[in-house]
Structure 1
Amino acid sequence: MATVEECRQALDDLAKRLATNAEDARKRLNLDRTLACRITDLGVAFHGRLVGGQLRDITDGDDPTAKIALTTTSDDLVALVKGDLNFARALSSRQLSISASPFDLLKLRKLL
């Protein structure tokens, strides 16, 4: 089981990767939405914002009103960010669940 710090680092790494590819990310995912990432096996959550293809303001704690909510285990989050776990496969096998509007799901799909 990954630690809370490893999960926090994975989200920071994802934010850095999106920032590195800012122009491409903005074209693929031009949203302004609140985002929650819930880690089931640790009982923790993080939240932030997806703005113009960037993941910003990541902080500890849940946001029950987040427009997009991702729920997974600590190990699966770390594996997803590292590229060791395929996003579509994780979603279809229920290792990952995403709660969002149908429009937002279509936009998120562009990142695959």
Structure 2
Amino acid sequence: MATIEECRAALDRLSAKLRGTEGDLRAAAALDRSVSCHLTDLDVTFTGRMADGGIQVHETRTGPPREKAQIRLALTGDDLIALVDGDLNFAHAWGSGRVRLTAGFRDLLHLRKLL
């Protein structure tokens, strides 16, 4: 089972990947939205902001998100690491219920370019 530190490092790697995108992907990553990532197996939530082409984690809390972020992700720590490392296909994981992504319709249209 992944640790909180490993998951935080995975979010940092994801942010770096987003900042390294170009063209249409760069535009999709340039959203300015509040985000939360709830790790269901660890019962920990990272909250922050997707801005400047990356993800800035501001807080780590025990339990589910206390506030409703504009983009919300819920999954296990192992699945987060596998997604970031390219070992798990997002569409398959989302379709099978392993990953939950909640966002407004326009945000989903932008995010689908990244997934």
* Residues 25 and 53, structure 1, Cα contact 8 Å, conserved in 2: no
Match of 1:44 in 2: 44
**Range moving further from structure 2, 72-81 or 14-23:** 14-23
* Residues 36 and 70, structure 1, Cα contact 8 Å, conserved in 2: yes
What RMSD in Å do the two structures reach over aligned CA positions? 1.8
**TM-score, length basis structure 2:** 0.86
Return 5+ residue gaps in structure 2 as ranges.
none
Match of 1:110 in 2: 113
Give identity over the alignment, percent. Answer: 47
**What are the within-5 Å matches in structure 2 for residues 59-70 of structure 1?**
59-61=59-61, 62=65, 64-70=67-73
Distance, in Å, in 1 between the alignment partners of 2:66 and 2:23 is 28
4+ long deviations beyond 6 Å: none
Q: Secondary structure at the match of 1:110?
A: helix
CA distance 1:22–1:63, shift in 2 (3 Å): farther
**What are the within-5 Å matches in structure 2 for residues 2-17 of structure 1?**
2-17=2-17
* Residues 25 and 52, structure 1, Cα contact 8 Å, conserved in 2: no
**Range moving further from structure 2, 25-34 or 68-77:** 25-34
Deviation at 1:90, TM superposition (A): 0.7
* Residues 25 and 54, structure 1, Cα contact 8 Å, conserved in 2: no
Match of 2:19 in 1: 19
Deviation at 1:73, TM superposition (A): 0.5
* Residues 25 and 113, structure 2, Cα contact 8 Å, conserved in 1: no
Distance, in Å, in 2 between the alignment partners of 1:39 and 1:55 is 16
Match of 1:82 in 2: 85
**TM-score, length basis structure 1:** 0.89
Return 5+ residue gaps in structure 1 as ranges.
none
Match of 1:56 in 2: 56
